[in-house]
Amino acid sequence: MTNKLNTYTVSVYTENNIGLLNRISAIFLKRHVNIESLTTSQSEIDNIYRFVIVVKVVESKIKNIVKQIEKQIEVIAAFYHTDKETIFLETALYKVKSKSLFDEKHIQKIIKNSQANIVTVSPDYFIIEKTGWREETEKLYDSLEPYGLLQFVRSGRISVSKEAMNISDILELNTDK
């Protein structure tokens, strides 16, 4: 096993339970592992939730962490994947002074070239949305920054794996017992 730090996306399927977020994040805390991003949402199955957690660690560590997560009572299954094994995206929002949009013609070109969308325009500001990889949202950030960004925010990663994660099967198997 190598000692190289890799980016891993951990996907955790859970029952909805107060305190589970705390329980899962405590597993990273105990091992002094920084969470790069964390997103939770409803999954493809009713009442089953999905955590997407991004961390940079060595593979031996992520294997152990995933097993510790999976061991928690309300966790149905946990997986880890490398970037190559997933399709993943982040969304960024950029709030820019409206004046720039009209004064600086170049800005419209930037928006068009980066395949970003204008979400809303008001007399004072307008908001651009860009969904994509980290490099793309960062590139747009760099391009817009000279015009004065009023606000910038980027979501955690959302990701789906290329391989199947058969949660329904696991649930059925456990209920059969």
Partner 1 sequence: MKKTNKISGSEAVIKCLLEEGVDIIYGYPGGAIMPIYDELFKYEDKLNHILTRHEQGATHAAQGYARVSGKVGVVTATSGPGATNLVTGIADAQIDSTPMVCITGQVASHLLGSDAFQECDIIGISTPVTKWNCQITKASDIPEVIAKAFYIAKSGRPGPVLVDITKDAQFELMEFKYKKCNSIRSYIPIPKFSINEINKAAELINNSKKPFIVFGQGVILGNAESEFKQFIEKTGIPAAWTILGLSALSSDHPLNVGMVGMHGNYGPNVLTNECDVLIAIGMRFDDRVTGNLETYAKQAKIIHFEIDPAEVNKNVNVDIAVLGNVKDTLPELIELVKEKSHTNWINKFHSFYKKEFDKVIKNDLYPSKEGLTMGEVIREINEISKGNAIIVSDVGQHQMVTCRYASFNHSKSNVTSGGLGTMGFALPAAIGAKMGAPDREVIAIIGDGGYQMTIQELGTIFQTGCAVKIVVLNNEYLGMVRQWQQMFFDKRYASTEMVNPDFVKIAKGYFIDGKKIKKRENLKSSIKEMINSKKPYFLEVCVEKEANVFPMIPSGASVSDVRLE
**Residues near partner 1 (CB under 8 A):** 14-15, 18-19, 22-23, 26, 29-30, 63-64, 67-68, 70-71, 73-76, 171, 174-175, 177
Query: Six-digit token pair at 19?
Result: 């305190």
How many Å apart are CA 177 and CA 174, to the nearest integer?
6
Contact 62, 10 (CB under 8 A): yes
- Compute the distance between CA of residue 129 and CA of residue 148 in angstroms, rounded to an integer: 16
Closest separation in Å from C-beta 28 to partner 1 = 11
Q: Which two tokens stand for residue 138?
A: 């960062």
Name which of 71 and 109 has its Cβ closer to partner 1: 71
| Nearest to partner 1 of 76, 107 (CB atom) | 76
Nearer of residues 127 and 171 to partner 1, judged by Cβ: 171
Q: How far is the CB of 21 from partner 1 (least distance, A)?
A: 10
Q: What are phi and psi of 46, to 5 degrees?
A: -55, 130
Question: Judged by CB, which is closer to partner 1: 22, or 122?
Answer: 22
Shortest Å, Cβ 26 to partner 1? 4
Torsion angle of the four alpha carbons 173, 162, 14, 28, in this order, in degrees rounded to the nearest 10: 130
Identify which of 68, 62, 85 has the alpha carbon closest to the alpha carbon of residue 5: 62
For the CB of residue 76, give the shortest distance to partner 1 in the complex, in Å.
Answer: 4
